[in-house]
Structure 1
Amino acid sequence: MKKLIQFFAIIGLLPFALFTSCEKIEKADKVFLHGKIYTVNEQQKWAEAVAIKDNKIVFVGNDKEIENYINSATEVVDLGGKMMLPGFVSGHDHLISSNWMKAGVELFDAKSKEDYLQMIKEYADSHPEEPIVFGYGWNKDTYGGWPTAKELDKAVPDRPAMIFDFTIHDMWFNTKGLEAGGVTKDSPDTVPGMSYWRRNPDGSPQGVGVEIIWLEAYIKAGAWNPAKMMKESQEVLYNKSASTGMTTVINQGLITPNLMNFERYKKDMVYSFEMLDSLDKIGELKIRTFQNYVYKNSDFDVDEFVADALKLKEKYNSDRLRLHGIKIHPEGNWNSNTSLMLENFSNIDSKGVSGVGQDKLMEIHLKSNRNGLDVHTHVDGTATTRYTIDAIEASIKEGNTAARNVLQHYFWTHPDDHQRVLDMKIPVNTTPLFGSDWQGQATDAYKFMGKHRTENYYMRYTELPVHEGHNLSISADVPSSPVNLVDPLFSVEGAVTLQDPQNENSKPFPTTKTPMQVEQAIKAVTIYPAWQARMEDKIGSIEVGKYADFVILEENVFEAGLRDIADIKVHATIMDGKYTYQKENDGNLTNTGSKHKVFLPKELGCCEHGHPEHLHNH
């Protein structure tokens, strides 16, 4: 009799048990199913379906299991076999205010001096209403040497002209542009040999300002309008980046003409955060933004600089908008002989110059790390790379072991220092395009650095992912890359081919390097830069508990040809569970109905046996 009572007691509890077991699963706001979902999670690399509640992922698995998360209020999105990845994360771009450097005529297609001047003249003639003629993209090698103001006068004789080179570090003026900017033979060079005016024998300016010495002239000429240009720039760059699948950026420094004036630069930083915060508060910030404070002028007091960064971090420190750390920009570019090398350049009797010396690099790392700020350093020349590694090592020995200091660019690295990077697992970011034969980089490498260094020191980033625990991110570095190349898949193709994706005749370079694997390159635009942003537990992979940041692609990256990856179209981008980009006339991603019918569950969400009742017609 006792056993019979127990039996009926158990039977009596069954409906309640079945009911509560069904109700334990929280229904999702939105589910995606029938997809090829690459999660970047080593414990579960692939899935068919994902469920989200509010802005978080609540399920990752197969199409059958996702049924448990659907009720009448759930939006069901049929991926139709499309590929989903975590939202792309950029470890190095300048998206907030840099589009002002891309005004006017684009010159990348020019093949000679005559082409440059003709393209500029045609633009100026067709835009008579513009008080200053802007442009960008000239290359002194293609031009046949450094351009001059007198030559630019032939194209624009009637008003100022200011034309950026392809790196956005150097600017070419015509005579009226120099006059408007107040540039004369008495104008001092900021850092002789690195940031300077190219001059005639009598000391008068020839027409080119090297390594951003032109900033004050740009402002004095009336070219800078921050309220208008920063707002427009942010809107253009964030919309463009969202359309490429980007959901997060480490903005490696606010780039404005006030970069070398601390008081004015502080105001620009405050303005940029206020602008982004206002967008965030109304739900229109399309990209998570973690911004670094740029240290470029060695006259800036380090203590004051760090203190100001900490004030901004205290005010802006969310998972969508944050002052992240410090960016040191100590030098220029190797292919203008304005980076600091351990040995002489091959083309001149000089080792180059640094604007932020070895001692200052050490001071900034130690003081920043002590205060919980990571340091990201532009390392272009071999000496700068070594001194930065020294500073990182000293900070670790001091006890700042939680710091995540990152080497940015990693162009030229002595083999001994490369081994130190491997040994200490120092994280790196680079731009694959800059190491390819784009804009004559391959030719310049041999010319400026010689065969031995080109084959043994240059762009060794591809070797890093094969070493366990090493962290490498890749990105475009807009505006040094043209804005239209901000697409993370463009960088992925560059890393797995060592070629320029936009040039079908590009040859792999450097020839001594092994390209990255596709899986490695995908991690370099997702989980690795997420780690560099201290967000690896919240973004960078598709896992339960992380934010609902996704990109949906038209094609599977792993099935595309290596030279076709950059051409894969983005179908949609989702950040924090909301669409930030959708391809026009998509028609292929379907909500409830169409390819995927959802028969909603019965009254209590369970069938008569206590199991979810979702039947699918394909």
Structure 2
Amino acid sequence: MTTKLHALFTLASALLLLSCSGSPETATRVFTGGILYTVNEQQPTAEALAIQGNRIVYVGDLDGIQPFIGPETEQIDLQGNILTPGWIEGHGHFMGLGYNELNLDLSATKSFQEIVARVKEAAERTPAGEWITGRGWHQSKWTESPGKEVAGFPLHQALSEASPDHPVFLYHASGHAGFANARAMELAGLMSLGKEQLPKSEQLEGGEILRDENGNPTGLFNETAMGLISRHIPANSPEKDRQAFELALAACHRHGITGFHDAGIGSKTVDLYRQMKRDGKMKIRMYAMLAGSNQEFLNEWLEKGPEIDSLLTFRSIKLSCDGALGSRGAWLLEAYTDRPGHFGHETLPMEYVYEVSKKALKKGFQVCSHAIGDRANKEVLDRYQAALKEFSDKRVDHRFRIEHAQHLHPDDIPRFAALGVLPAMQAIHLSSDRPWAIDRLGEKRIKEGAYMWQALLQSGVPIINGTDVPVEPIHPLANFYASITRKTLDGSPEEGYEADQKMTREQALRSYTLDAAYGAFEENMKGSLEVGKVADFVVFDRNIMEIPEQELLETKVQMTVIDGEIVYEQ
């Protein structure tokens, strides 16, 4: 039974029970004493909510909830706090979130020198020969020069001196580039190669090894070239995978995240998630996208079809079609302003996107394509359009997505609504990236086509919000703040960047709840506070719909409820 049919069946059953008994069902828990923001246009706010087991059985005023209260009902006083539907991470990397807590977290580093020092500390406590890995650095956020640079990136020598006996690979915050030390490059057989001895071209299609003027590798590996190093990193043990899963789950609960769209997983993670569900540990609604780069893995899924469940669903395919703006891997129609002659990388052949899109339409899968640059977005939209033309009967509700849709040509903005393609965007990227993104694209392209939230919303297409964790922290209130202010997290500029593209608070809340649920075909099951829907919600200690914007960054989650179970209390 599909999720949508299951939700409708449950609602019909609840109404039938009420009509037959003549009195409402006694609630397991009731919540009163605060403001409920329902994300239901027919009833935007409420005073009280009742749940029975894992379902909502009442949303309304205080008088109406009294018949639901019995001797065994737990009554929870919100003490003036607000309650909203559970927030859904619309695009993130769940295991990356967990592993970011196990490996070196470089997201707060402000210089290359600080990164080198962190690696040196790690080397002192790590047995010789073992790999040191981390993620989160971003050269455009450094506050001091790293010294000699090539294309805006440092050279590996300082890192290699700090860790001569340990191979090191440090992923860029975007995940689309990595920095290696000499030992890692030696293991990959790259240190002795000159310009004339580059690896075979097919190994570098869609990526690059950055080299100095003498042909020596600098340590920077962009896009698909990362595989030359990462293939030598030992696989994580099952025990470590479970530990990372549990750390990620706890982080989501702390931040009010009740649903997660995991943007690209392979067979190993599929098996892990299935095991966690069997063990009763899947305490989050996981909507997992199958990594589409492995054709054998993808073909197996296309043959057997989607798996749809209220806690764990596999019905979407993730395709990575270009890189990131920070590492100049995003695929552009015109060259980078700060790197003339460079247009980024097409990391997946567009013919493959077209073929997968056709197969997905035929087999009932959703396609979610990573596209950041304007050319990548245009090319993906073209392939979606061609596939939909061939399968015209699937046009109504395919819900194909573009993940990020960060930089668009103005002509392509209305095409999302026209084709029924959903943009899954991360508002927090503007707060982090906008100060330096103008160097990559120039003022004209930034103003006409970057972070175009309101333009897309006004065209008639919903936006799915998220953080792209661990590219950005999982903190949803920082993302909510970015959505409505278009400012950096330190509050600049005063009016926000391109302020006409701000979301309203209502739009921002909906993008994190009901519209995110819609992006996973689950809007009839969750995303709003309505009778018959699952009991997923979050309680905040401040009224995020009314407080001054700067207070949003100080707001805390008081309680997270998933499937009727309180999974977190401050």
TM-score range, shorter chain: 0.7 to 0.9
The correspondence for 2:280, drawn from 265, 269, 283, is 283
The correspondence for 2:211, drawn from 188, 195, 199, is 199
* Correspondence for 1:575: 562
- Whether 1:100 aligns to 2:99 is yes
Distance 2:303 2:509 in 1: 35
Residue pairs, 1:148-547, within 5 angstroms: 148-184=155-191, 185=193, 187-188=199-200, 192=204, 194-201=206-213, 203-215=215-227, 217-222=229-234, 224-254=235-265, 265=266, 269=267, 271-296=268-293, 300-301=294-295, 304=296, 306-310=298-302, 313-314=305-306, 316-346=307-337, 347-397=339-389, 398-399=391-392, 400-401=394-395, 402-436=397-431, 438=432, 441-467=433-459, 469-481=460-472, 485-501=473-489, 503-504=490-491, 510-511=497-498, 513-547=500-534
* TM-superposed deviation, 1:295: 2.1
- The 8 Å contact of residues 91 and 475 in structure 1, kept in 2 or not, is answered as yes
Instruction: Mark the runs of 5 or more structure 1 residues left unpaired by the alignment.
Output: 1-19, 255-264, 584-618
* Correspondence for 2:4: none
**When the two structures are aligned, how many residues end up with a matched partner?**
535
* Correspondence for 1:55: 54
Distance 1:105 1:67 in 2: 52
- Partner secondary structure for residue 56 of structure 2: strand
Give the residue type in structure 2 aligned to 1:432: A
Counterparts in 2 of 1:128 and 1:506: CA distance versus 1, 3 Å: farther
- The 8 Å contact of residues 378 and 409 in structure 1, kept in 2 or not, is answered as yes
Counterparts in 2 of 1:337 and 1:279: CA distance versus 1, 3 Å: closer
- Partner secondary structure for residue 369 of structure 1: helix
- Scaled by the length of structure 1, what TM-score is found? 0.81
- Partner secondary structure for residue 501 of structure 2: coil
- Partner secondary structure for residue 96 of structure 1: helix
* TM-superposed deviation, 1:227: 1.5
* TM-superposed deviation, 1:87: 0.7
Counterparts in 2 of 1:292 and 1:385: CA distance versus 1, 3 Å: same
Counterparts in 2 of 1:509 and 1:338: CA distance versus 1, 3 Å: farther
Counterparts in 2 of 1:77 and 1:512: CA distance versus 1, 3 Å: closer
- The 8 Å contact of residues 561 and 567 in structure 2, kept in 1 or not, is answered as yes
Residue pairs, 1:557-576, within 5 angstroms: 557-576=544-563
Distance 2:494 2:239 in 1: 41
- The 8 Å contact of residues 442 and 509 in structure 1, kept in 2 or not, is answered as no
- The 8 Å contact of residues 129 and 166 in structure 2, kept in 1 or not, is answered as no
Distance 2:269 2:233 in 1: 23
Give the residue type in structure 2 aligned to 1:317: I
Residue pairs, 1:580-595, within 5 angstroms: 580-583=567-570
Residue pairs, 1:33-48, within 5 angstroms: 33-48=32-47
* TM-superposed deviation, 1:275: 2.6
Counterparts in 2 of 1:71 and 1:102: CA distance versus 1, 3 Å: closer
Counterparts in 2 of 1:364 and 1:349: CA distance versus 1, 3 Å: same
- The 8 Å contact of residues 191 and 355 in structure 1, kept in 2 or not, is answered as no
Distance 2:301 2:549 in 1: 42
- Partner secondary structure for residue 154 of structure 2: coil
* TM-superposed deviation, 1:139: 2.6
Distance 2:253 2:202 in 1: 37
- Scaled by the length of structure 2, what TM-score is found? 0.87
- Partner secondary structure for residue 85 of structure 1: strand
* Correspondence for 1:596: none
Per-residue deviation, residues 411-448 of structure 1 (Å, max 9, x unmatched): 11111111222444531111112123x2xx33432222
Per-residue deviation, residues 479-518 of structure 1 (Å, max 9, x unmatched): 222xxx21222211111111233x3556665336431111
- The 8 Å contact of residues 38 and 84 in structure 1, kept in 2 or not, is answered as yes
Counterparts in 2 of 1:44 and 1:339: CA distance versus 1, 3 Å: same
Give the residue type in structure 1 aligned to 2:62: D
Per-residue deviation, residues 260-290 of structure 1 (Å, max 9, x unmatched): xxxxx4xxx2x42333233323432111111
Give the residue type in structure 1 aligned to 2:68: Y
* TM-superposed deviation, 1:24: 2.6
Distance 1:350 1:451 in 2: 18
Flag the structure with larger Rg. 1
Per-residue deviation, residues 548-579 of structure 1 (Å, max 9, x unmatched): 11111111111221122232111111111111
* TM-superposed deviation, 1:86: 0.6
Distance 1:107 1:272 in 2: 24
Counterparts in 2 of 1:387 and 1:515: CA distance versus 1, 3 Å: same
Distance 2:100 2:72 in 1: 47
